[in-house]
Chains A and B, each alone.
Chain A
Amino acid sequence: MTATVESAPYTVEEVCEHFDPVMGLEVHVELNTDTKMFCGCANAFGAEPNTNICPVCLGLPGALPRVNGTAVESAITIGLALNCQVRERSGFARKNYFYPDMPKNFQISQYEDPIVFDGYLDVPLDDGGTWRVEIERAHMEEDTGKSLHIGGATGRIHGADYSLLDYNRAGVPLIEIVTKPIVGAGVRAPEVARAYVTALRDVLRGLAVSDVRMDQGSMRCDANVSLKPKGTEEFGTRTETKNVNSLRSVERAVRYEMGRHAGVLLSGGTIRQETRHFDEQSGTTSAGRPKETFADYRFFPEPDLPPLEPSRDWVESLRAGLPERPWERRARIQTEWGLSDEELRDLVNAEALDLVADTVDAGAPPEAARSWWVSYLAQQANTAGVTLPELAITPVQVARVVALVGEGTLTNKLARQVVDGVLAGEGEPDEVVSGRGLAVVSDESALTTAVDEALAAQPDIAEKIRAGKTKAAGAIVGAVMKATRGQADAARVQELVLERCR
């Protein structure tokens, strides 16, 4: 079917002359646990289709779910970081609906008693202020498989010639974080929406519970928008926009829907409660296939899983282990390192700030740590087509390289080779140093200098060598080995001596 693209004739300023926008944001986050939510299959992105599957996540008859304790821990930690209450007794529920990529045709989720609820996040805005977004709840659920619809015009199931199903993602642990209605943001509503999702992403990254990659789908946002005529209290009819795959899209989707709603309402129309699809290219939304029937998910308590009753001690130990909030950490770092706003922004944009900070925490001086991440490592990431956090080197490893340079074991040039070795999977920096023989004395220039010095110190022997008596080179090699306390490669020194005397 062809989607009708409706125009959004009103700017947010115009919209807000007549209406107050109301938003509700639902963010799904895939947890980065080793295994899936209810079975032992690997939770991995990008594997061959249908390789990380078992009777449980395929929903085979007779199979039963078993809860992943790490996922529960992550859910509680997320709740605590969002200032939520942790429910003493919560449970799973079944959400029933038919879809080919849902192995059981129900999703194990949480319904009336989510594990964490009633929290808030103070979200930093562009002007330095903050906006408090209230959190309704966060709950655990399992992801569905993936459908790939082949043929047809839209890439959706209707009109496709056939579909391929990949159940690797089925059963991957998800946390759904739902805000309370965000009211009163006015013209800043699109910005608040983007700022909230950004802040949430940063918090979750700080907790290391998820990859939070919107481009890979490990973080997904559904934006609910409605308009309330100024001076009234009742919320308008809302639409839910899906397929919002970047932070920028969150802002654009909210802005577009605000304008579209206003256009419909001001021309005397009514908004249909529906799911809409965001198009990254055009920045517009389009209606999904209208639902013929009201979706009744027939939630009921999951009889295969007992209630969750996290102990108070456990919850408190998780609370005690919460890291500093990312933006608070940023402010502290900026002061401590004396960074300009621009320098700070560059670090943040390059996703380097946390890496630099962690490198500093691991013992490196701030300037050296920053320099490594924004120059050499940034180039390597660029060449490899990955982001800095995805590079196969940790802040602790970078700090060790910095230390090796500091103590004179490595020159800067050698240090880059050590980093290359770490990136190539050759092990820890010290292992690369010994594996590649990269202590400072194997530095060609250093060795050449040592050879030249030895030749200069024994000009008669140098003369003999130049005259073709290569056996005389032994004396020079011996002197170089002595000067480098035996750490040079003698054969290479021999070659160098002959080269320098050619």
Chain B
Amino acid sequence: MSWDTQRSGAGPVDSELVSLDAAELARRIHAREVSSVEVTRAHLERIEAVDGPAESGVHAFLHLDADGALAAAGAADRAIADGGPVSPLAGVPIALKDNLTTTDMPTTCASRILEGWRPPYDATVVTRLRAAGLVPLGKTNLDEFAMGSSTENSAFGPSRNPWDLTRIPGGSGGGSSSAVAAGESPLALGSDTGGSIRQPGAVTGTVGVKPTYGTVSRYGLVAFSSSLDQIGPCARSVLDAALLHEVIGGKDANDQTSVSAPLPPVVEAAQAGARGDLAGVRVGVVSEFSGEGYHSGVLAAFTDAVRVLGELGADVVEVSCPSFAYALPAYYLIAPSEASSNLARFDAMRYGLRVGDDGEHAADEVMSLTREAGFGAEVKRRIMIGTHALSAGSYDALYGKAQKARTLIVRDFTAAFETCDVLVSPTTPTTAFAIGERSDDPLAMYLADLCTIPSNLAGNAALSVPCGRSADDGLPVGLQVMAPALADDRAYRVAAAYEAATAGSAAGPRIPELRALETSR
């Protein structure tokens, strides 16, 4: 084993390594200026320093696999030392949302019903990450079965926003976003059903991408709402997200909803955008995404972002998408309907929790007792809503009508993309709210996804890029860029241009906050 002894004076590089973007880490690892093992160790130390305890730390991770990560890092270092071709992100650590199946780590979906379950197979995205030499560190927290906007619905306790540990890191993918924001991992994977990558990205000052539906395989993503779920990257820069997007994207025979079309050239687009020229790009501001419920600080940051896009040469127009008003109610019928069916399999018969298997209870009673004990309140709420929406007496009025609304939303997007190349909006109406603030008010919680849901219903591409900080509370704001299906590259180009133009201010000082966190403990 020579990979780390070859380097001399591996001094206290930790805090620098954990602040670097994935592209820069990859460059240094591939140039053998630093080993993947050192980078991995630095991130493991960072996690050790800031992630726990579960009651007060960032609590981004539900499971950490230090040995597995160091072994994968060692393998990446050997591949690089052998001089053969390695993928652009080989050797870079990554965190995985805990609703992706992994053979070497449990997959719990942050639910008691799956506590300790070890899948016998890797999700396609995990297979692709491993093949590309990335280094999985562990599994990140989420709202149970990805149902929520704050991670407060995790059966194992919430994650916390590294910018303010009393606040939520967004959800459902708050574990992934807070891990990236806190310097615990340069990259993470999330899943976005109604905004679960983008909204956490916005409130933690990180980049979150929901690729076009069907361009990243869902095989091995524990389904919440199959027609809406989409795996995507979480990162600290637009380019990093694009690099990861290219690793995980593309047709997969195991997912028949995955499309054969070639993956849009997102890395190229991110690089082109970073040169700062948006001349001729038509940017539509969706007029419906403002007004009541939006923080003034969020709207101000957004207005300023639109001004920046104009200065970069974009033609900014206002567009109206009136059917977006139906998006939230349609989503809260379609997603629970599919969830009620997808989550039926958790019945204690084959894996996971089993309650009441005492010889006194029949099989159907064991199923009921297990589901009663194993699912949290929000999951039960959605299973009940969905079961009702699909039932014989209400199908047409609820599920059927929601599907019609979905068609109208698709039409609004189609019309808007006839006059615009991309659409922009705030990613979420407010900055990170306080933990507990909306726990008793599901409707208020659902509003966090107001701006992100339409792109899930239509299946188009959308991302969130950091957009400065709110003057109200100093917390990060996200700019959402939406693009037509299979035109993800447009969103990357615009986001990269904006990111480059606002470097140092938009992304915000990510790491100093965490210094404060470390010294406070």
A contact set with B: CB distance below 8 Å: 55, 58-67, 94, 96, 98, 100, 103-106, 157-158, 163, 165, 296, 298-300, 303-306
Contacts and interface: CB of A to CB of B under 8 A. Distances in A.
Determine which residue in A63, A65, A306 has the highest number of CB atoms from chain B within 10 A of its CB, and name it.
A63
B363 interface: yes
Given A55-B121, A96-B390, A305-B256, 7 more contacts: A62-B221, A64-B255, A66-B255, A106-B344, A303-B338, A304-B223, A306-B257
B350 A58 contact: yes
Contact of A55 (B120, B226, B253, B362): B120
B161 interface: no
Contact of B345 (A105, A298, A300, A304): A105
16 contacts: A59-B350, A61-B223, A62-B107, A64-B218, A65-B256, A66-B255, A67-B256, A98-B344, A98-B367, A105-B344, A105-B347, A106-B341, A157-B362, A165-B349, A300-B338, A303-B225
A103 B226 contact: no
B222 interface: yes
A94 B341 contact: yes
A303 B226 contact: yes
A103 B350 contact: yes
Interface string B119-153: 11101000000000000000000000000000000
A304 B226 contact: yes
B337 interface: yes
A104 B226 CA distance: 14
B363 A163 contact: yes
B469 to A, nearest CB: 37
Contacts of A61: 101, 107, 109, 114, 117, 119, 222-223, 345-346, 351
Nearest to B364: A98
Nearest to A157: B363
A457 B114 CA distance: 91
A104 B363 CA distance: 15
B120 to A, nearest CB: 6
Task: Pick the most buried of A62, A98, A157, A296: most chain B CB atoms within 10 A of its CB.
Answer: A62
Contacts of A305: 256-257
Of the listed residues B109, B123, B345, the one surrounded by the most CB atoms of chain A closer than 10 A to its CB is B345
Contact of B253 (A66, A100, A163, A298): A66
Q: Assign chain B's interface to a size class.
A: 35 or more
Given A61-B119, A96-B344, A100-B363, A66 B254 contact: yes
B505 interface: no
A103 B345 CA distance: 6
A100 B347 CA distance: 8
A93 B500 CA distance: 47
A62 B223 contact: yes
B344 A60 contact: no
Contact of A303 (B100, B227, B253): B227
A306 B399 CA distance: 19
Interface in B196-244: 218-223, 225-227
Given A100-B349, A104-B345, A157-B363, A63 B391 contact: no
A446 B427 CA distance: 95
B387 interface: yes
Contact of A96 (B121, B341, B399): B341
A62 B345 contact: no
B392 interface: yes
Nearest to A95: B341
Interface string B438-467: 000000000000000000000000000000
B63 to A, nearest CB: 16
Contacts of B344: 96, 98, 104-106
B219 A63 contact: yes
Nearest to A161: B359
Contacts of A65: 256
A60 B120 contact: yes
Closest 8 pairs (CB-CB, A-B): A105-B344, A298-B390, A303-B226, A303-B227, A61-B222, A62-B220, A62-B101, A104-B345
Nearest to B400: A300
Given A94-B341, A96-B341, A303-B227, A64 B254 contact: yes
Interface in B229-288: 253-257
Interface in B363-387: 363-364, 367, 387
A58 B120 CA distance: 11
Interface string B310-347: 00000000000000000000000000011011001111
Contacts of A62: 99-101, 107, 119, 121, 123, 219-223
B347 A300 contact: no
Contacts of A304: 223, 226, 255-257
Nearest to A298: B390
Nearest to A294: B392
Output the residue of A60, A103, A299, A305 with the most chain B CB within 10 A: A60
Contacts of A59: 345, 350
B391 A60 contact: no
Contacts of A296: 391-392
Given A98-B344, A300-B399, A60 B256 contact: no
**B121, B223, B363: most-surrounded residue (chain A CB, <10 A):** B363
Contacts of B350: 58-60, 103
Contacts of A299: 390
A104 B109 CA distance: 17
A291 to B, nearest CB: 13
B206 to A, nearest CB: 25
A331 B219 CA distance: 53
Nearest to B252: A64
A303 B390 CA distance: 14
A60 B101 CA distance: 10
B145 to A, nearest CB: 10
Nearest to B100: A62
A298 B363 contact: no
Contacts of B367: 98, 100
Nearest to A59: B345
Interface string B76-120: 000000000000000000000001110000010100001001011
A96 B225 CA distance: 15
Contact of B351 (A60, A64, A67, A96): A60
Given A106-B341, A157-B363, A298 B387 contact: yes
A157 B365 CA distance: 12
A298 B341 contact: yes
A105 B117 CA distance: 19
Of B107, B109, B338, chain A has the most CB atoms within 10 Å of the CB of: B338
A164 to B, nearest CB: 12
B127 to A, nearest CB: 12
A98 B392 CA distance: 17
Nearest to A60: B119
Contacts of B341: 94, 96, 106, 298, 300
A300 B390 contact: yes
Nearest to B344: A105
A198 B338 CA distance: 40
A64 B256 contact: yes
Nearest to B117: A61
A138 to B, nearest CB: 22
B120 A64 contact: no
A329 B85 CA distance: 64
Contacts of B219: 62-64
Contacts of A98: 344, 347, 364, 367
Contacts of A55: 119-121
Contacts of B391: 296, 298
Contacts of A158: 362
A99 B469 CA distance: 52
A247 to B, nearest CB: 34
B62 to A, nearest CB: 15
A299 B223 CA distance: 18
A305 B226 CA distance: 10
Nearest to B226: A303
A150 to B, nearest CB: 13
A482 to B, nearest CB: 65
A62 B391 CA distance: 25
